[in-house]
Amino acid sequence: MKSIAISENHLFKKVYAKGEKVVCRHIVVYVLTDYHASRLARENPLGKRVNRIGLTVSKRLGGAVVRSRVRRILRAAYRQLETERNIKKGKLIVIAAKESACGAKSTDIFKDLLFAARKLSLYTDSEIVEKR
């Protein structure tokens, strides 16, 4: 399922100010609970909660081509994480690229994202879900 993008500046500021943060080698990940997730779930045709994701790639990383490449890699790494692992839904997630992300391979960024998700306890515990 396609993730909903964070496009409002006030949501980015809110996640930066109040969210939990994990710093990795190539990325910084911020996570905050989305209190409007239930409203978005009603608007969703499947009726499921989704994560809203925002990507931050600043101009100091390089030109437009470099920044677009980093954004594509970040998007692909998050999509891969969502398909391979059970991620908690109803979160605002902001992924900020560091300068080292320009020369990084997609596998390196995916490993950083796995590490950050574990540190932020974004994985759902399937054993607890089955017992309920």
What's the pLDDT score for residue 1? 58
What's the pLDDT score for residue 126? 55
What's the pLDDT score for residue 125? 73
Q: Can you give the pTM of this predicted structure? A: 0.87
Residue 111 and residue 80 in contact, taking contact as beta carbons nearer than 8 Å: no
For residue 92, give the H/E element and its range.
Answer: strand 91-97
What average pLDDT does the structure give for the chain? 89
Q: Which of 90, 101, 78 lies closest to 51 in space, CA to CA?
A: 90
**Spans of the chain below 70 pLDDT:** 1-2, 126-132
What's the pLDDT score for residue 20? 96
Find the distance separating the first CA and the last CA of the chain, reported in whole Å.
25
Q: Structural domains in the chain? A: 4-123 (3.30.230.10)
What's the pLDDT score for residue 101? 95
What's the pLDDT score for residue 129? 43
Cβ atoms < 10 Å from Cβ of 105: 10
